[in-house]
Amino acid sequence: MRLRLALTLIVGLMVAPALRAGDTLLTLLDPYFRIQSTLSDDKTAGIAAEAATIATSAATLGDAGKPIVLAAKELGAAGDLGAARVAFSKLSDAVVAYSENTKTSAGDGVSNMFCPMANKQWLQKGEKVSNPYYGKSMLTCGEKKKKTT
């Protein structure tokens, strides 16, 4: 009986961090998707606040979340649309790398998209391409690299 209890406790402790990491990733993706949508619309309003939310969430991931924190802070400090798009690319790379390295799903219906013109990736909900790097001028430029779930 004690052995079974001990094994249950050990397994629970091993699984809990993974669940928290997955929950945190999903939490920071909500503001990430809002940023992606804003950039796709050639705007920057609200991006700094959303980036700050991402940085706060990613900080709870420890060392594995540091690249996300740094990229989010850079995005939050971006002074114009061009700088925001460059910083969003870094954030996207960091989020995708975290998801792949930790084997944490980005959620249902999320795809890893790629723009061959910008040579950059991003995560996106839905099937219709909404390019954050070129916005309205080339909104549908891109292709699905893979589904993240």
Q: Looking at this protein, which amino acid is placed at residue 98?
A: Y
Helix (H/G/I), strand (E/B), else coil: 63: helix
Residue 147 confidence (pLDDT)? 55
Contacts of 120 (CB under 8 A, 6+ apart): 89, 92, 114, 133
Residue 145 confidence (pLDDT)? 86
Contacts of 52 (CB under 8 A, 6+ apart): 72, 76
Tokens 């009986």 label which residue? Answer: 1
126-130 own/partner pairs: CB under 8 Å, 24+ apart = 130/36, 130/37, 130/40
Angle at CA 62, nearest 5°, toward 94 and 23? 75
Q: Which of 73, 64, 69, 71 is nearest to 18 (CA)?
A: 64
Contacts of 99 (CB under 8 A, 6+ apart): 25, 105, 106, 148
| pLDDT values of the chain reduced to their tens digit, one per residue, 149 residues | 554 433 333 333 333 343 345 576 888 999 999 999 999 999 999 999 999 999 999 999 999 999 999 999 999 999 999 999 999 999 999 999 999 999 988 888 999 999 999 999 999 998 899 999 999 999 999 999 865 54
Residue 16 confidence (pLDDT)? 38
Please report, for the chain, the start and end positions of each structural domain, with discontinuous segments joined by +: 23-147
Residue 18 confidence (pLDDT)? 39
